[in-house]
Structure 1
Amino acid sequence: MRVRGLWMTLPLLAVGLPGPVAAQELDAPRPIDALNSVWIEELTWMEVRDEIAAGKTTAIVSTGGVEPNGPYVATGKHNYVLMSACDLLARELGDALCAPIVKLVPEGSIDPPSGHMRYPGTLSVRQETFEAVLEDVGRSLAAHGFTDIVYIGDSGGNRRGMSTVAEKLTAEWGAAGREATAHHIGAFYNYTDVERYMEDELGYDQPIDEGLHDNLYITSIMMVTDPTVVRYDQRVAAGKATINGASIEPKDEIIELGRKLLQFRIDVTAAAIREARGR
């Protein structure tokens, strides 16, 4: 009985804490060196606070998906691309951090299943759910002091939702006189240009189209993150280390191709972000 009474009293004590105590906690110095990461979810709250105070006031919200991508490539294809892309992009900008990747996006109706939802492993959310998540994430970031919320997507179907939310938040914050702006950076989704760059500048061609929702540029970029997500070893062992008639061997060469393609995308996207922010 005594323990129960104490347990019920603790929440009341917490609620009754005076303002200066809470403020002191928020201003408490970080007791150890910070981790060298641009991912908010990998940082402590103190590290995020200090990064914002040091000028990292751009937050990148990237959207991927979980969907079918042929017999070799993991369903999280877009998310694996974004793991490398957002990291590189934030470091290229120098004043940005990455929010956790939004991995669940609209992929088709659930009942009855349509589009990608016809394939096992696909996870879909309604358009309004997707936009609500993007909006709440953006609001959360702005509440903590990020002044530029940047939405990028690796899947074409995500563009409408990101654009809608960015426009809504920017209009609302502008009307309220808040120092925060949301941007949808469509330049990141530039796979047509990536393919042209790969073929014309780097000399890698795809002679055929196997229709597998997969291709050499996607595979090579994913291999930068982790070769296992394109089943590299299994494909080599089975004599199937090709996509669209192009070889994905040797491993190191294709990973280097992926790095070059990633850098191409990062250069284009960073320039678009700087233009949108005005700095």
Structure 2
Amino acid sequence: MRAFGILLTGSLLTAVLPSSGAAQELDAPRPIDALNSVWIEELTWMEVRDEIQAGKTTAIISTGGIEPNGPYVATGKHNYVLMSACDLLARELGDALCAPIVKLVPEGRIDPPSGHMQYPGTISVRQETFEAILEDVGRSLAAHGFTDIVYIGDSGGNARGQQAVAAKLTEEWAAAGRDARAHHIGEFYNYAEIERYMEEDLGYEQPVDEGLHDNLYITSIMMVTDPTVVRYDQRVAAGKATINGASIEPKEEIIELGRKLLQYRIDLTEAAIREARGR
């Protein structure tokens, strides 16, 4: 694989080839066995190169947030969900890798604070900043051979930016005749369906609404990643191991509930991605 760049200077389009040393390095064989991971940030550049050459040409860009989530759940709630969700989704697809989670998203006006920004620990970015990050990450991945850039968000407020960027990139790449597309997969943000599945199909009900930015299906999915991020042990010790009137004990049962909800969610998302890609 010979990599090259393009510089636009005035009206001239100039190909910029790597130095002979860099070109030789880019073609060098990987000297050790690869790590079994779908996360680009965990792989070496050689492992990413080889995965793309082997057909893993879909890159998933997931977006979360840092925001208040009641008295028990970490501010990075969405990001912890995505740690398990993107990993499972990429492996289910079989031809995808996960970009680093975009953890900072619009959460309200910064000064004076509005929305989630009224609560300590929240971190917000401007909408234009968010969209610029999504665009730059998508362009970076496409530059290295990923042909399908998939945007998914665990927070409903992220959808507008993802839709705008996916449409912009797809239109631009099509006009340039490039073999690359971007997709916003709104089906991933399907918590209403997840709640229905949990209550009607799995028989776990939430008898009351405590008015917290938290619920059983989110808590159980987070526990698949790490029970400490919902303060499991502290809640049990304080006699507060419930959410919306539903118990989060015993631990292994609720983790298994989270796994079932996560799998159901990923099945819906995988189908939507395959439809969007046409395969």
- Give the CA RMSD over aligned residues: 0.9
Secondary structure at 1:62 match in 2? strand
Q: What SS is found at the alignment partner of 2:71?
A: coil
Structure 1, gaps ≥5 residues long: 1-16
CA distance in 1, matches of 2:208, 2:22: 63
SS in 2 for 1:33: coil
1:86-128: CA deviations, max 9, x gaps? Answer: 0000000000000000000000000000000000000000000
1:237–1:31: structure 2 CA closer, same or farther, 3 Å change rule?
same
Compute the TM-score of the two structures, normalised by the length of structure 2. 0.93
Q: Percent sequence identity over matched residues?
A: 88
Give the count of matched residue pairs.
263
Task: Compute the displacement of 1:18 (Å).
Answer: 7.4
Report the equivalent of 1:176: 176
Q: Is 1:109 aligned to residue 89 of structure 2?
A: no
Map 1:9-88 to 2 at 5 A. Answer: 19-88=19-88
Q: C-alpha separation between the residues in 1 aligned to 2:211 and 2:241?
A: 16
Q: Which amino acid aligns with 2:23?
A: A
| Structure 2 equivalent of residue 246 of structure 1 | 246
**Shift of the alpha carbon at 1:19?**
3.1
Q: What TM-score does the superposition give when structure 1 sets the normalisation length?
A: 0.93
- SS of alignment partner, residue 150 of structure 1: strand
| Corresponding position of 1:150 | 150
Q: Secondary structure at the match of 2:124?
A: coil
Q: Could you tell me how far 1:22 is from its partner in structure 2?
A: 1.7
Amino acid at match of 2:38: V
Matched residue SS, 1:146: coil
Q: Deviation per CA, 1:184-213: give whole Å up to 9, x if none.
A: 000000000000000000000000111110
Matches within 5 A, 1:145-224: 145-224=145-224
Return 5+ residue gaps in structure 2 as ranges.
1-16
Letter in 1 for 2:45: W
| Alignment match, 1:9 | none
Deviation at 1:37, TM superposition (A): 0.1
Per the alignment, residue 255 of structure 1 pairs with 255
Q: Distance in 2 between matches of 1:231 and 1:78?
A: 15
Tell me how far apart the structure 2 counterparts of residues 18 and 247 of structure 1 sit (CA, whole Å): 59
Equivalent in the alignment of 1:265: 265
After superposition, the C-alpha distances for 1:57-113 in whole angstroms (9 at most, x for unaligned) are: 000000000000000000000000000000000000000000000000000000000
